[in-house]
């Protein structure tokens, strides 16, 4: 189900209407006005970047890096090709917002990428789309065709001397390609294995050329910022946390779905919007930012507001905005076991600590979950984790360790009980 409450990207989008995603409907909602404004007034590139900086927009893909600042890293005077790349390889468990942008408002992303291309002086861009969402890939291709026909994409856009082309690239099942340098390798037609950094993509990116990579939601926020002004976007959220954000709420709520709400909205309000807890069960824990974010127990979560600063102060991360809600029937060992399995499956295998470590984590958690935990297993998990985090090429290893550390910290008694008694404390029910 898609549910949208007032916001930036989905403002005025009627998700029930079959044609809401088409160009005509987008233009009727004020779409492509931002691009026209820039081209009509010949707005200098620096001014576009400054506007994005002033909006306080932070990357929506997970790391929350300021988007305007990232754009300013692109060498302006570089003589050869440069690229902008969109990351729609949405595979972080719990996250399903970018799919809805492609389904219901693809032109917001296209316009945002054209503006990014203008601001950074690039002539071409790619959108890398998650393998499992083929229908959305086809729709995005169709939206690109509409934009080309209308003169928003291609040579001499709207009769100016600005040209920009945009293409869709379809992934085929590898979570690691969400990591930006693995994504670039994959775009080049290789195995999606992350690159050593530095050099960073802004100097050595796609085909070795300067490249800027942003998440779908980051790009899709840009038309609003340019059209209505940085100030208006900033004011929609709270200081240092500009704008609204899409939260994908999943798990034990009555109405799972995407909610676009101001950053800084209390978690309790979001939970209410999502219809509250399913079957009136008690809230036990929440993973507030996608599976890689540390889990938080209900008591802590209920006091958080949904923004980068509040969630980080509580010891977790806003990440991609995927809010996974769990009730009292969930055994935390079983839940962690499933995540540990995922990271082990998806490790690309190039770094030994990650390839071996994710296997160790899974096997140890698996045996605890099955009543075969051994004394010392919690210490073992700790030491395996310490040998992984921060010692690898990319952050997947850290992403595998964060859940282990946070689950065993906040719900330690469940792990201790299972190791001691050979069975889990909670009589586990998924749903």
Binding-site string for other proteins from residue 261 to residue 300, where x marks contact by CB under 8 A and - marks none: ------------------------------x---------
CB < 8 Å & 24+ apart, contacts of 142-148: 143/21, 143/22, 143/23, 143/106, 143/107, 143/110, 144/110, 144/168, 146/22, 146/23, 146/107, 147/23, 147/107, 147/110
242 binds, among ligand FMN, other proteins, ligand SF4, none (CB under 5 to 8 A by kind): none
Per CB under 6 A, 347 contacts ligand SF4: yes
**Is position 392 an interface residue for ligand SF4 (rule: CB under 6 A)?**
yes
Among 116, 354, 381, 418, binds ligand SF4 (CB under 6 A): 354
> Which of 215, 218, 125, 222 shows the shortest CA–CA distance to 168?
125
Q: Does 179 bind other proteins (CB under 8 A)?
A: no
Strand partners, 260: 246
Residue from 102, 153, 176, 277 binding ligand SF4 (CB under 6 A): 176
Residue 1 binds other proteins, judged by CB under 8 A? yes
CA 244 to chain centre: 14
Window 50 to 69, contacts with ligand FMN (CB under 6 A): 59-63, 65, 67
Q: What's 427's DSSP letter? A: -
Cβ proximity to other proteins, 90 vs 179, nearer residue: 90
Smallest distance, Å, CB 157 to ligand FMN?
23
Residue 395 burial by Cβ neighbours in a 10 Å radius (0-12, 13-18, 19+): middle
Residues 179-208 that bind ligand SF4 (CB under 6 A): 194
351: closest CA among 342, 343, 363, 362? 343
Contact between residue 258 and residue 96 where contact means Cβ atoms under 8 Å apart: yes
What is the DSSP track for 294-335? Answer: PPEEHHHHTT-EESHHHHHHTTS--TT-EEEEEETT--HHHH
Backbone torsion region of residue 373, taken as left when φ is above 0, otherwise alpha when ψ lies between -120 and 50, otherwise beta: beta
In this structure, the number of other CB atoms found within 10 A of the CB of residue 179 comes to 27
Which stretch in 25-33, 40-48, 113-121, 180-188 sits in contact with other proteins by CB under 8 A? 180-188
Q: Which residue has the tokens 């952050």?
A: 395
| Candidate residues 7, 125, 171, 178; the one interacting with ligand FMN per rule CB under 6 A | 178
CB atoms near residue 393 (< 10 Å):
19
Are 426 and 332 in contact by the 8 Å Cβ rule? The answer is: yes
Minimum gap (Å) between residue 117 Cβ and other proteins: 16
- Shorter beta-carbon distance to other proteins: residue 127 or 221: 127
Span near other proteins by CB under 8 A; candidates 26-34, 56-64, 171-179, 219-227: 171-179
Does residue 211 touch ligand FMN according to CB under 6 A? no
134 makes contact with other proteins (CB under 8 A): yes
Residue with tokens 């004394």: 375
Site residues for ligand FMN, 69-98, by CB under 6 A, read: 87, 89-92
Among 87, 122, 212, 248, binds other proteins (CB under 8 A): 248
Residue 64, helix vs strand vs coil: coil
242 in contact with other proteins (CB under 8 A) = no
Binding residue for ligand SF4 (CB under 6 A) from 187, 270, 397, 404? Answer: 397
Contact 205, 184 (CB under 8 A): yes
Residue bearing tokens 């954000």: 245
Residue 215 vs 316, nearer CB to ligand FMN: 215
Whose Cβ is closer to other proteins: residue 224's or residue 411's? 411
- CB-CB contact of 354 with 345 (8 Å): no
Nearer to other proteins, 143 or 168 (CB): 168
Contacting residues toward ligand FMN, per CB under 6 A: 59-63, 65, 67, 87, 89-92, 176, 178-180, 213-215, 218, 394-396, 399
Binding residues for other proteins, per CB under 8 A? 1-2, 81, 90-96, 98-99, 126, 130-135, 167-175, 186-192, 207, 248-252, 256-258, 291, 322, 324-326, 330, 335, 338-339, 342, 345-346, 430-431
Interface residues toward ligand SF4, by CB under 6 A: 176, 194, 347-351, 354-355, 392-394, 396-397
């Amino acid at each position: 189900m898609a549910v949208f409450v007032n916001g930036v990207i989905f403002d005025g989008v009627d998700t029930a209407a079959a044609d809401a995603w088409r160009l005509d409907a987008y233009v009727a909602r004020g779409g492509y006005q931002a691009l026209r404004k820039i081209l009509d007034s010949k707005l200098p590139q620096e001014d576009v970047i400054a506007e994005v900086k002033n909006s306080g927009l932070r990357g929506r893909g997970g790391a929350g890096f300021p988007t305007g600042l990232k754009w300013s890293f692109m060498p302006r005077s570089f003589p050869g090709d440069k690229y902008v790349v969109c990351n729609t390889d949405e595979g972080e468990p719990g996250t399903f917002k970018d799919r809805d942008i492609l389904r219901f408002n693809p032109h917001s992303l296209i316009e945002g990428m054209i503006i990014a291309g203008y601001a950074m002086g690039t002539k071409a861009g790619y959108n890398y789309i998650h393998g499992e969402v083929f229908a959305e890939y086809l729709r995005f291709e169709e939206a690109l065709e509409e934009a080309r026909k209308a003169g928003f994409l291609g040579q001499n856009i709207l009769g100016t001397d600005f040209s920009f082309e945009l293409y869709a690239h379809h992934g085929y099942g590898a979570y690691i390609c969400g990591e930006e340098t693995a994504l670039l390798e994959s775009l080049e037609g290789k195995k999606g294995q992350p690159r050593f950094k530095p050099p960073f993509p802004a100097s050595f990116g796609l085909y070795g050329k300067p490249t800027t990579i942003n998440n779908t939601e980051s790009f899709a926020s840009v038309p609003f910022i340019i059209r209505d002004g940085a100030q208006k976007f900033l004011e929609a959220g709270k200081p240092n946390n500009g704008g609204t954000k899409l939260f994908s709420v999943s798990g034990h709520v009555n109405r799972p779905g995407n909610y676009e709400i101001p950053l800084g909205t209390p978690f309790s309000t979001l939970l209410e919007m999502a219809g509250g807890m399913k079957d009136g069960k008690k809230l036990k824990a929440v993973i507030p930012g996608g599976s890689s974010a540390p889990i938080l127990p209900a008591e802590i979560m209920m006091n958080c507001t949904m923004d980068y600063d509040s969630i980080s102060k509580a010891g977790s991360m806003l990440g991609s905005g995927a809010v996974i809600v769990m009730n009292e029937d969930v055994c935390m060992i079983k839940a962690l076991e499933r995540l540990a399995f995922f990271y082990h499956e998806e490790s690309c295998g190039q770094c030994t600590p990650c390839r071996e470590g994710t296997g160790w984590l899974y096997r140890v958690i698996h045996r605890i979950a099955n009543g075969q935990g051994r004394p010392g297993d919690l210490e073992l998990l700790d030491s395996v984790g310490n040998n992984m985090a921060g010692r690898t090429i990319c952050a997947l290893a850290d992403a595998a360790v964060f859940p282990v550390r946070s689950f065993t910290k906040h719900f330690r008694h469940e792990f201790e009980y299972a190791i001691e008694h050979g069975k889990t404390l909670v009589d586990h029910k998924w749903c």
